[in-house]
A = this chain, B = another copy of it.
Amino acid sequence: MRLGAIEAGGTKMVCAVGDENGNIFEQVKFPTLMPEETMAKIVGYFSDKEISAVGVAAFGPVGIDKKHPNYGKLLETTKVEWKNFDLLGSLKGLNVPMNIETDVGGSCIGEAWKGAAKGLDNVVYVTVGTGIGAGIMVNGKIVHGMLHPEAGHIRINKRSTDSCDSVCCYHENCVEGLASGTAIRARWSLPAEELLDREEVWELEADYIAQALANYIMVVSPQKIILGGGVMHVEKLFPLIREKTKQYINGYLVADELEDMDSYIVKAGLGDDQGIVGCLKLAADCLGRT
């Protein structure tokens, strides 16, 4: 079976053809320009690929509730040209069943299906990049709810010695505003890759991320947390985050998983392909339902 996968990001669109086992046969990228021209390229790419279904993982906020009129549409996104754009509708010309998730939801599905959380039903996938977001799986299904999680916007405690303002224009102390790649650059006036030997940068960064993770653990009790995104390419963050998360829990939770933090908080298992692999699962799922 040949399946289509579209990882719709704010700067690029990754399109791939693969199968129901998560194999990727080919992959291309298009820049995210104006909606109509971008989507026309994508439809053109898939037109001769003989795919049976398409899975989409999209930047957001995006309507993912099949029962809601906004299903498949981009909502109040900061990319103004894309606001209210009917993403799934623009793919109707492919004439195949479709399924859509948030970008982080797609990545979480990919990692739980074929990656670092293979076989688990309760997983948090966090991306720390330009922004911070989380895809959350509970009892084997991605959390949607009223809208979908916006877990990068939980409040954390800002350190009193941190004089840098949040880069989130909505929240003065959410983890995205204080610990995203954008926040790192604003605070230290340099991109992450030029700050690698500055220990104070990563100690603070790990502290803020660990506060968020400790809260996710208290709320949804995941069996594993996967950290991806550009900032997490800084490998030394992992041991710092593990140690500080453990300190924030402070022995309150007793569970086998927390005995080995090295296998509880881990890096992504699929490199940069978890989103596309998740889309293949979404495509396969929607065939299963049709």
Contact = CB atoms under 8 A, between A and B. Distances in A.
A1 interface: no
B219 A147 contact: no
Interface string A240-282: 0000000010111111011000000000000000000000000
B253 A150 contact: yes
Interface of A: 61, 75-76, 122, 134, 136, 138-139, 141, 143-157, 170-171, 173, 211, 214-223, 248, 250-255, 257-258
Contact of A75 (B151, B157, B254): B254
B76 A254 contact: yes
A134 B218 CA distance: 10
A146 B221 contact: yes
Contact of A139 (B141, B155, B223): B141
A155 B222 CA distance: 17
A76 B252 CA distance: 9
A143 B248 contact: no
Contacts of A253: 61, 147, 150
Contacts of A215: 154-155, 215, 219
Contacts of A148: 221
Contact of A170 (B143, B217, B221, B252): B252
A173 B250 CA distance: 12
A173 B156 CA distance: 11
12 contacts: A122-B145, A134-B219, A138-B145, A143-B221, A146-B222, A147-B253, A149-B219, A149-B221, A155-B248, A171-B248, A215-B219, A220-B220
Contact of A157 (B61, B157, B170, B214): B157
Contacts of A222: 145-146
> Of residues A145, A154, A221, which shows the largest number of chain B Cβ atoms within 10 Å of its Cβ?
A145
B122 A144 contact: yes
